[in-house]
Structure 1
């Protein structure tokens, strides 16, 4: 399935252009495309792209014809290099196939509903990497995997069409490319064994340079193109000189990724581009760490009303109103205290089976509850209303209660076309929750250049989080939750092997089956959604069962290798079982960094609370 494909009104023009001597031979891994002008740039990129698909397939074919370790490693590395050079275009042109090729070596479970559950073994470059760079080779399995990937690449090559690409597509490709490098590429997300993340990111940037060069004639300001060229060259140089464990990711994101976002915006203006819609990241975002970075509509119900200060203020009143519950004693705020980053400070919330998660930044994900059983905030609120140990009510009673309040009813009549309906009530509460993503922590203010107050320990902690400690391969910046950038279309769940008690000697896994309870899928036992660690300093105790009281205990758990590191045998554990081997100082640095993600306290003034971007 192609991503945002737009049909051309006249494809015949490309057949005519092909008669011109435009064929660009790119049978090498590192091709360069000249500036061909807008009329021919699509064709030049398409030819280069197909050549690379075929070259990648040829290396995989060679891999399937050798049995020696040296040759297997050589052809894997060559095929992987070409794949990474394909990444910016492949990930945009065909996101699902890109995810197939770049999937982690963990079981893929797709649950549409109870009657449509698919269990798939991973087939990807990551699987090949782990199979080849290991002590014991299973050559037959490696050959089978190589053949499968090769055949899929061949199918892609036969069905490639770049004729639909327009200026705004090229800009999205460019932005997705450098954001993917910053948010997953340099973290080790897709090179778990070799940790070739920095060199592979260089390959991505070289392709981005090619894409810009193809579109050079579109720049009205030549100096802007030259700025891009210098910036990409500097990024490549910085990455080339780095070591995976010691690389300064904080500096790279602050000085390069953030700068590239600003260059992107200047290019949009220079090209005169008008985007047809906004994806997860707003088209005019100038920072990854801002209340203007994300498009709330992308994460909201399709029927969700536009966010306004008045609707958010109404939602805040409802959020704190105990009359919404049948007992008249419970409100949303009963389990989500604003002073504790909208948690309740308890191991398990009263009447519940799990710890109360923070509501800050909770709107910026694609599923809700620890087991992902709700697909929107409005849907999540239904469960709260109907839960016997929470509101113990139903949507009809909820609506009647709100209608009975002349103040509420008047506001709904004024703010919503259909007035006081159960959906509008839920939408107002959801809008208030959506306003709780302020991006004004110490870390945000520093990486945005508003202040220079991060200690070296805090910077070291961020670099560990994004590198050696592998935290960011599950808690993705800038949200630091499980919603995968740069598309932010999926929120992941993980099996960590969380113990029932804080016991490293006789540990047993907690009995909560998590996502298994949704459809009874055996391979989903003990899986839980990855929450944000923003405001983590205020949200103790930790994990879905509140088993850990301090961040020191949490870091120790991960440092040991999760459940596997304390003797829990969980077959599908997604966390690498090997110890991280963090020193005591490194563990403290990680904690120091996480505490910089605490938002500044808000006033009761709703305009200040939501920020101008939400109004």
Structure 2
């Protein structure tokens, strides 16, 4: 009955819209602002507050003493209204968004050895798993309901919506569209029910309401009508498909990208400038566009220099063995360009020829991260370089010694004096190398070209592979598009670390847990044992062997590992494994298709 009513509401709303959309130009146009408070603030606030109140109303109907059937109905209705409020929460209350929509995993913040905070999750995902998972958890359900019933009224009272400009509301629509594409349709938000398509439709219903409010702001009614037609088409697609069979490739290529373009056209129509700040370029019209990211946003202020000359200098230093102790190593010793800046070894060799601890990660697309090394010990590329320089098993020197060596080379000095006002300094040396590393990622793979309409040679198997990667196989719930690494959308401001229960070898019939404790070694936090950074899948066909220990030699072994549910799925004791231990039940042809897709992520230069 609820589903029928929902369908009727949407149909009535869309029907009313089309009846009022005749004509090409509006007679009046409300003046908008990218600085002052929106003239529509009251109507927009009403949409937000109604959604919050309704979400809270249904959440309060849930109780551990009620039947599962009653709680499920209340949960689904509360979740529906949360999804309608979500665009506003992401835009104006992002920390609470991460709390309310966060995964059912411990939140661990490690600022310093004496500043460590461990927080149990309290989110809709916790409720979904506690209520509807294989092992219902009454205690967790009660704790989370208590928290969220207090949190939602707090969010409403402490809102920031009343001061927002029209520019902020347009950006809000864009951020929600990106969230739907990168997380909403992947199962990230609904790990048990996989109610992702229905929930995405609630997001779009909210976008629709917002655009109705702005109807009189459009100078060009054709643009407004184009929005309405696109949203109607999108809602129909989401309503008529199921999670496993949904064609996410077609949806992103032909709908998400179209909507990003409509945002740009709307900014022009409203005479509002969407400013490039933080990690995304707000003017990009393609999720897989080469201009989608604002690369400067991934680095400290002032350090990103998009200069061919500086990149060339950085490359020269990157390949220079004379800067390490005894001239034994350069960055390129372990990061070989022909192997997508890996080395093809299970683990690399140290300066003494002995094996190092971990596999060499690719430097391709390394700039699109907020943590470096498998254990996330460095927070910047410059910091990553410093760690390598000072590591006794690698360069075994220090930046001041390298600065002295470069300053004694007249050819280096000449270039540095030309490119940097203060010439040779250790800061400028690391800056040059880091900017070379930032240039290693072109977004010009076969998949990118097809997504942008610059090629049309993606075959059915590769398309199926992408759809499985983004859906049934749940790969994209950790490897987020478009970078396919662990940097979390929609803000792309943090990089996840995960515990997969990694084995020592590829012998899954006799599995043995790897003894590398990963992130635990930094702060000795029990809950961080076995945690490692989620690396990119781009160029993966060139970067074997795989995983932090190089234990898996082929992509078939990698898929088999995930298909079995990681260490826990193989029966190993992994208390804090973040990878769901349930078998994925991927068929042989599905595994083959996923691998075929991943190979389309190889850059054209290879």
The number of aligned residues is 575
CA drift at 1:198: 0.2
CA drift at 1:276: 4.6
1:479 is matched with: 483
Q: What is the Cα-based RMSD across aligned positions, in Å?
A: 1.9
Q: Secondary structure at the match of 2:70?
A: helix
Q: Mean Cα displacement is larger for which, 593-602 or 243-252?
A: 593-602
CA distance in 2 between counterparts of 1:116 and 1:288 reads: 37
1:594 is matched with: 598
Structure 1, residues 384-409: CA drift from partner, whole Å, max 9, x if none? 11111211110110101111111111
Q: Is the 8 A contact 1:497 1:570 kept in 2?
A: yes
Structure 1, residues 197-236: CA drift from partner, whole Å, max 9, x if none? 0000000011111122222222222111111111111111
CA distance in 1 between counterparts of 2:600 and 2:49 reads: 45
Q: Is 1:443 matched up with 2:442?
A: no
CA drift at 1:273: 1.5
Q: Mean Cα displacement is larger for which, 414-423 or 377-386?
A: 414-423
- Superposed, 1:116-155 pairs within 5 Å as 116-134=115-133, 137-139=136-138, 141-155=140-154
Structure 1, residues 254-312: CA drift from partner, whole Å, max 9, x if none? 00111112222222222221245423111221222132111111101224042211111
Q: Secondary structure at the match of 1:163?
A: helix
CA separation of 1:29/1:169 partners in 2, compared to 1, >3 Å: closer, same or farther? Answer: farther
Q: Secondary structure at the match of 1:380?
A: helix
- Superposed, 1:383-394 pairs within 5 Å as 383-394=387-398
CA separation of 1:137/1:551 partners in 2, compared to 1, >3 Å: closer, same or farther? Answer: closer
CA drift at 1:504: 1.4
Unaligned residue ranges in structure 1 (runs of 5+): 1-27, 603-615
1:529 is matched with: 533
1:460 is matched with: 464
2:158 is matched with: 159
Q: Is 1:404 matched up with 2:403?
A: no
1:262 is matched with: 261
2:67 is matched with: 68
1:575 is matched with: 579
Q: Secondary structure at the match of 2:109?
A: strand
Q: Is the 8 A contact 1:301 1:378 kept in 2?
A: no
CA drift at 1:142: 2.4
CA distance in 1 between counterparts of 2:246 and 2:64 reads: 37
Q: Is 1:493 matched up with 2:497?
A: yes
Runs of 4+ deviating beyond 3 Å: 28-40, 134-141
CA drift at 1:66: 4.7
CA distance in 1 between counterparts of 2:400 and 2:461 reads: 53
Structure 1, residues 292-342: CA drift from partner, whole Å, max 9, x if none? 111111101224042211111111111111111112121111100010000
- Superposed, 1:71-110 pairs within 5 Å as 71-110=70-109
CA distance in 1 between counterparts of 2:509 and 2:569 reads: 10
CA drift at 1:118: 0.9
2:230 is matched with: 231
Q: Secondary structure at the match of 2:344?
A: coil
CA drift at 1:489: 0.7
Q: Secondary structure at the match of 2:430?
A: helix
Q: Is the 8 A contact 2:126 2:140 kept in 1?
A: no
- Superposed, 1:420-435 pairs within 5 Å as 420-435=424-439
Q: Is 1:560 matched up with 2:561?
A: no
- Superposed, 1:204-283 pairs within 5 Å as 204-283=203-282
CA drift at 1:417: 2.0
Q: Secondary structure at the match of 1:111?
A: strand
CA distance in 1 between counterparts of 2:74 and 2:587 reads: 36
CA drift at 1:65: 7.4
CA distance in 1 between counterparts of 2:112 and 2:80 reads: 38
Q: Is the 8 A contact 1:291 1:437 kept in 2?
A: no
Structure 1, residues 527-569: CA drift from partner, whole Å, max 9, x if none? 0000001000000000000001000000000001111122221
CA distance in 1 between counterparts of 2:382 and 2:136 reads: 50
CA distance in 2 between counterparts of 1:29 and 1:569 reads: 49
2:547 is matched with: 543
Q: Secondary structure at the match of 1:119?
A: strand
Unaligned residue ranges in structure 2 (runs of 5+): 1-7, 21-28, 33-37, 351-355
Structure 1, residues 429-487: CA drift from partner, whole Å, max 9, x if none? 11111111101111111111111111100000000000000000000010000001111
CA distance in 2 between counterparts of 1:555 and 1:259 reads: 33
CA drift at 1:135: 5.3
Length-normalised TM-score, structure 2: 0.92
- Superposed, 1:412-423 pairs within 5 Å as 412-423=416-427
